[in-house]
Amino acid sequence: MSRGLDNAVIPASPALSEQLRTTQKARRQQRERHRAATTGWLRAAVLGANDGILSTSSLMLGVAAAHATHSSVLITGVAGLVAGAMSMAAGEYVSVHSQADTEKADLKLERAELANDNEGEHKELMAIYIARGVEPSLANQVARQLMEQDALGAHARDELGISNTFRARPVQAALASAGSFAVGAVMPLLVTIVAPSSAVIPLIAGTSLGFLALLGGLAARAGGAGMMVGALRVTFWGTLAMGLTAGVGSLFGKA
């Protein structure tokens, strides 16, 4: 029986094959849940790198289209890298920090409520479990026992939706976005360093779109979606961004 479940070769009966399907489905779901939990940071890193590639290469293309010298294009790229990384870090820090402030204020309020009205808080927690489908007498018991263990923890998790794994970490978040942006921005910069002056525009545009498609495809695959769709989506927006900036650059370059 257990060998049959593991190898999934010849189901002996309809009942067994049904059980087999259920087990395989449960395993697949388990794997997918796992994937959702571990791809959070990967998704953030890929998005940061995408931003770095796209905004830096667009910036350099705009300046190059305005007939700037090779060294001006390079300086623009370096300035774009630093400005973009710092702006990503600042934005991420402020956003995550304000989230942490909200969580802290919520927890403070909850602590005060627990101290003032413990019975009311027990009813509140019980009502939450009932609303999730637990029968009233069991919900009463679960709420009581969880509150004996760690009342604030139980309310934080089940009432406010704050858990330790999702606690906001502003500095790590800021460093991670700045770092991933910089990694992305370095790609078009390196291409510009080695590219001959005459071919800067097509080389930056071509390699950046290639990197974007690759990252988009990998990100889609890591998230369990189709690689092709992910690559095409990011390539479309990349082409639009680079085309527009280059267009604006060549307009102003003529004046």
Which parts of this chain interact with Zn ion (CB under 5 A)?
121, 124, 155, 159
**Residue whose CB is less far from Zn ion, 103 or 124:** 124
Cβ contact 81:189 at 8 Å: yes
Residue closer to Zn ion (CB basis): 129 or 155 = 155
Of 103 and 159, which has the nearer Cβ to Zn ion? Answer: 159
Of 90 and 115, the one with the shorter C-beta distance to Zn ion is 115
Q: Pick the closest to residue 241 from 20, 57, 43, 42 (CA basis).
A: 57
Least Å distance, CB 97 to Zn ion, is: 24
Distances (CA, A) of 174 to 48, 190, 194: 11, 24, 31
Determine the Cα–Cα distance for residues 45 and 215; give it in Å rounded to an integer: 10
- Point out the residue whose Cβ comes nearest to Zn ion: 155
Could you tell me the smallest distance in angstroms from the CB atom of residue 224 to Zn ion? Answer: 35
Shortest spacing between CB 99 and Zn ion, in angstroms: 20
Output the DSSP codes for 198-249. Answer: GGHHHHHHHHHHHHHHHHHHHHHHHTTS-HHHHHHHHHHHHHHHHHHHHHHH
**92/121 with CB nearer Zn ion:** 121
Question: From CA 92, how far away is CA 177, in angstroms rounded?
Answer: 7
CB of 32 to Zn ion, least distance (A): 32
Q: Which residues contact 247 (CB under 8 A, 6 or more apart)?
A: 65
Closest approach of Cβ 110 to Zn ion, in Å? 5
